């Protein structure tokens, strides 16, 4: 698709979750010249599998690892070098450098203050993890933290360096460099932090995808594909004229206005209402369209809830597969 539009595949980066399936998809895509970012990395075994598959980069989340540790018996505050997220990312980085995975970029994201909690709002602690991982291949840093780094006068030494990290890594190549599915799943299940946080992340991504699909669908349904003009049905009228029956005009004198009130899907509709439109035309069509839209939304919500329960056990019931709804090692709340 991109190549048909004149975009070379070398410029495409596909983001995939750090599941076994996602990592194996990356293995195939990388061989076809399509680079991949394995995200939702919370455990060492995910990083190893991604590197062995030849993924272009991984995105471990040190801040969320610290969150999980603090919520599960760990301390709410650490010295930066002892921060569980910093320790885990440093381990990944050292393993990559020792075992020849230089082609896989370690690019952490998602930051928390090591020496305090976000609720404490200690400004100088906000960049603790970033400073502690200085020297890692890449970082994803939000603008406010970039500004804070630019304004600080504190020293910023490089703490991660390839040769030193490789020398400091004492771990042998996992499974001789060929990690299989059973070993991956066994190790991942043993890592409760990785299992729990990855499931939460996937659920969140799905939730946002559903919102995006609904927004796009609402937008598209307001466009007539034949005329590229706003579609006939809407839940309000302009100047007393049902939107369905407004006559479209391309003249500069036509007035452009947004539909007010309960527009379909929450999105305003802009039309050009010509002088030849009649207030009596199509009375009641807008209300009918609104009712149809409401029914459609209820059906979509029911289907979404059923999908969530089936795939991820969001509800506290047994899944159709016979597993406990909390079988992923974490407790999920209904979103």
Residues belonging to the active site: 15
- What crossing angle do the helices spanning 192-221 and 62-71 adopt, rounded to 10°? 120
3-state secondary structure labels for all residues of 210-257: HHHHHHHHHHHHCECCCCCCECCCCCCEECCEEHHHCCECCCCCCEEE
The upper half-sphere exposure of residue 129, i.e. CA atoms within 13 Å in the direction of its Cβ, equals 33
Distance CA 185, CA 197 (A): 15
DSSP states of 250-276 as a string?
A: -STTSEEEE--SS-GGG---EEEE-TT
Q: Collapse the DSSP code of 304 into the 3-class scheme (helix H, G, I; strand E, B; otherwise coil) and give the result.
A: helix
Evaluated on CA atoms 92, 97, 99, 100, the torsion sign reads: positive
Crossing angle (nearest 10°) for helices 192-221 and 285-312: 160
Cβ neighbors of 140 (< 8 A, separation 6 or more) are 59, 107, 108, 109, 110
> Quick count: other Cβ atoms within 10 Å of Cβ 182?
9
3-state SS, residue 144: helix
324 has which bridge partners? none
Please identify which residue in the block is written with the tokens 């020496």. 115
Contact present, 272 and 250 (Cβ < 8 Å): yes
Decide if 122 contacts 73 (C-beta within 8 A). Answer: no
CA distance 217 to 299: 14
Distance CA 150, CA 153 (A): 8
CB 327 within 8 A of CB 195: no
């Amino acid at each position: 698709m991109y190549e048909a539009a004149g975009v070379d595949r070398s410029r495409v980066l596909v983001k995939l979750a750090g599941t076994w399936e996602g990592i194996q998809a990356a293995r195939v895509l990388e061989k076809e010249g399509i680079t991949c970012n394995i995200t939702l990395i919370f455990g060492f075994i995910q990083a190893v599998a991604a590197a062995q598959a030849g993924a272009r980069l991984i995105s471990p989340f040190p801040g969320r690892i610290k969150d999980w540790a603090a919520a599960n018996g760990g301390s709410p505050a650490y010295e930066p070098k002892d921060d569980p997220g910093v320790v885990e990312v440093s381990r990944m980085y050292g393993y990559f450098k020792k075992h020849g995975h230089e082609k896989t970029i370690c690019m952490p994201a998602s930051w928390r203050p090591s020496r305090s909690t976000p609720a404490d709002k200690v400004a100088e602690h906000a960049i603790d993890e970033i400073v502690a991982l200085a020297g890692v291949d890449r970082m994803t840093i939000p603008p406010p933290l970039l500004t804070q780094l630019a304004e600080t006068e504190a020293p910023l030494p490089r703490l991660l360096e390839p040769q030193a990290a490789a020398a400091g890594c004492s771990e042998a190549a996992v499974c001789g460099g060929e990690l299989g599915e059973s070993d991956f799943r066994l190790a991942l299940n043993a890592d409760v932090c990785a299992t729990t946080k990855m499931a939460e992340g996937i659920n969140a991504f799905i939730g946002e995808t559903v919102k995006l699909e609904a927004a796009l669908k609402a937008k598209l349904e307001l466009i007539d594909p034949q005329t590229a003009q706003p579609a006939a049905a809407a839940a309000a009228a302009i100047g007393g004229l049902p939107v369905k029956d407004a006559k479209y005009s391309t003249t500069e004198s036509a007035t452009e206005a947004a539909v007010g009130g309960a527009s379909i899907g929450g999105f305003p509709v802009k039309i050009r209402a010509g002088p030849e439109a009649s207030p009596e035309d199509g009375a009641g069509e807008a209300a009918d369209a609104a009712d149809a839209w409401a029914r459609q939304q209820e059906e979509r919500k029911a289907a979404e809830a059923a999908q969530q329960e089936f795939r991820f056990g969001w509800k506290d019931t047994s899944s159709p597969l016979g597993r406990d709804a909390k079988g992923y090692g974490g407790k999920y709340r209904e979103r």
